């Protein structure tokens, strides 16, 4: 007899995401890097939580995603996994942990799966990393691809402008997407590319395509939670919709606290022993 409890949420798996694409239900994905935020986002009903290497920017204050280490990603990801009951948790392989060779890529992916309990990994790149993708998949680890603006290559691009606007880069992106699907990736993130191109990829591929700055004709959307909640005010690309202004809310709560402390209004008689 099944012991599954009726109030336990149905877990999101890569298979569930595939079914969502087939029935046209859009996939929601947000980043999280710590236990408390992951718990809120998971209980709110998000489908996928990405422990992105954007932690390098929003958690550690680096200008790019390049400095974050595998150990740091493992630290953030294990905190997230401890909080999550329903969402699929995907973790970015950080810069330098998979580009060297496919054996190194596999070792990095195994460390993430073993030490965090996450459900899959994400790698940036197309054809050039397909050997690593294949080796990781052969070990039974689900892989999400990432094409378009791939922030780990920012020094090669030299700028954060929209990618694949010209025909040659667009053609390569479509080819790369097919290569990743054929290798066995369960999904691909497309970042900051023309909406029409993203729509084409989503139509041509069977696996779910998740967009960020890639328009709405894809299978789901991802945003960095610190950006969409308005905690981070330093980043305002056109594709970003802010759903809250937490920077202002937190500032005003902290100001009220400072005032109460200075004026001896906190703690009051009921807030002491
Ligand atoms: O690191 C990250 O947050 C990401 C998303 C922007 C897709 O890769």
Within-domain flag for 162: yes
The finding on whether 57 has its CB within 6 A of some atom of ligand 1 is no
pTM, rounded to two decimals: 0.96
Query: DSSP labels for 19-58?
Result: HHHHHTPPEEEEE--SHHHHHHHHHHT-SEEEE-TTHHHH
The separation between the first and the last C-alpha atoms of the chain, rounded to the nearest angstrom, is 51
Which region holds residue 84: left if phi is over 0, alpha if psi is between -120 and 50, else beta?
beta
The finding on whether 31 has its CB within 6 A of some atom of ligand 1 is yes
Q: Are residues 231 and 254 in the same domain?
A: no
Rounded to 10 degrees, what is the CA torsion of 180, 181, 185, 186? 150
Q: Are residues 67 and 158 in the same domain?
A: yes
Within-domain flag for 84: yes
Q: What is the pLDDT of residue 234?
A: 86
Q: Are residues 110 and 227 in the same domain?
A: yes
Q: Across the chain, what does the average pLDDT equal?
A: 96
Atom of ligand 1 nearest to the CA of 210: 7
The finding on whether 52 has its CB within 6 A of some atom of ligand 1 is yes
Q: Are residues 130 and 105 in the same domain?
A: yes
Within-domain flag for 8: no
The finding on whether 121 has its CB within 6 A of some atom of ligand 1 is no
The finding on whether 224 has its CB within 6 A of some atom of ligand 1 is yes
Under a CB-based contact definition with an 8 Å cutoff, are residues 153 and 176 in contact? no
Q: Are residues 258 and 150 in the same domain?
A: no
Within-domain flag for 4: no
Q: What is the pLDDT of residue 6?
A: 57
Atom of ligand 1 nearest to the CA of 52: 1
Q: What is the pLDDT of residue 121?
A: 98
Testing ligand 1's pocket by substitution, the residue of 48, 73, 212 carrying the most ligand atoms inside 8 A of its CB is 212
CA of 222 to the centre of ligand 1 (A): 8
Q: What is the pLDDT of residue 5?
A: 52
Tally of domains in the chain: 2
Atom of ligand 1 nearest to the CA of 224: 3
Q: Are residues 63 and 156 in the same domain?
A: yes
Within-domain flag for 72: yes
Decide if 249 is catalytic. Answer: no
Q: Are residues 174 and 250 in the same domain?
A: no
CA of 171 to the centre of ligand 1 (A): 23
CA of 93 to the centre of ligand 1 (A): 11
Under a CB-based contact definition with an 8 Å cutoff, are residues 190 and 216 in contact? no
Of 19, 167, 191, 271, the active-site residue reads 191
Q: Tell me the residue range of the domain where 160 lies.
A: 14-242
Q: What is the pLDDT of residue 1?
A: 39
**Atom 1, ligand 1: which residue's CA is nearest?**
52
Q: What is the pLDDT of residue 2?
A: 41
Q: Are residues 211 and 256 in the same domain?
A: no
Within-domain flag for 2: no
Question: What is the CATH classification number for the domain harbouring 236?
Answer: 3.20.20.60
Testing ligand 1's pocket by substitution, the residue of 51, 53, 210, 225 carrying the most ligand atoms inside 8 A of its CB is 53
Residues with pLDDT less than 70, the chain: 1-8
Q: Are residues 69 and 163 in the same domain?
A: yes
Within-domain flag for 5: no
The finding on whether 116 has its CB within 6 A of some atom of ligand 1 is no
pLDDT digits 0-9 by tens, 94-144: 999 999 899 999 999 999 999 999 999 999 999 999 999 999 999 999 999
Within-domain flag for 1: no
Q: What is the pLDDT of residue 155?
A: 95
Q: Tell me the C-alpha distance between 232 and 237, whole Å.
A: 12
Q: Are residues 29 and 163 in the same domain?
A: yes
Q: Are residues 60 and 153 in the same domain?
A: yes
Q: Are residues 84 and 101 in the same domain?
A: yes
């Amino acid at each position: 007899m099944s012991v599954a409890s009726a109030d336990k949420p149905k877990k999101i798996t890569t298979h569930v995401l595939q079914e969502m694409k087939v029935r046209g239900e859009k996939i929601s994905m947000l980043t999280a890097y710590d236990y408390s935020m992951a718990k809120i986002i998971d209980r709110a009903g998000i489908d996928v939580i990405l422990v992105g290497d954007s932690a390098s920017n929003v958690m550690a204050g680096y200008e790019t995603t390049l400095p974050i280490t595998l150990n740091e990603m493992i630290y953030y990801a294990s905190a997230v996994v401890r909080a999550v009951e329903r969402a699929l948790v995907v973790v970015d392989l950080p810069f330098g942990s998979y580009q060297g060779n496919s054996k190194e890529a596999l070792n990095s992916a195994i460390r993430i799966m073993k030490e965090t309990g996450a459900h899959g990994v994400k790698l940036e790149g197309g054809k050039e990393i397909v050997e690593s993708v294949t080796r990781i998949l052969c070990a039974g680890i689900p892989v999400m691809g990432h094409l378009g603006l791939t922030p780990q290559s920012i020094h090669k691009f030299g700028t954060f402008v929209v990618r694949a606007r010209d025909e040659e880069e667009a053609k390569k992106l479509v080819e790369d997407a097919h290569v990743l699907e054929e290798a066995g990736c369960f999904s691909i993130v497309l970042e900051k590319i023309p909406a029409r191109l993203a729509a084409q990829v989503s139509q041509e591929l069977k696996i779910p395509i998740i967009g960020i700055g890639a328009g709405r004709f894809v299978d789901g959307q991802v945003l960095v939670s610190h950006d969409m909640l308005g905690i981070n005010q330093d980043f305002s690309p056109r594709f970003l919709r802010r759903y809250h202004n937490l920077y202002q809310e937190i500032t005003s709560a902290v100001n009220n606290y400072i005032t109460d402390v200075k004026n001896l209004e906190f703690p009051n008689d009921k807030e002491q022993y």
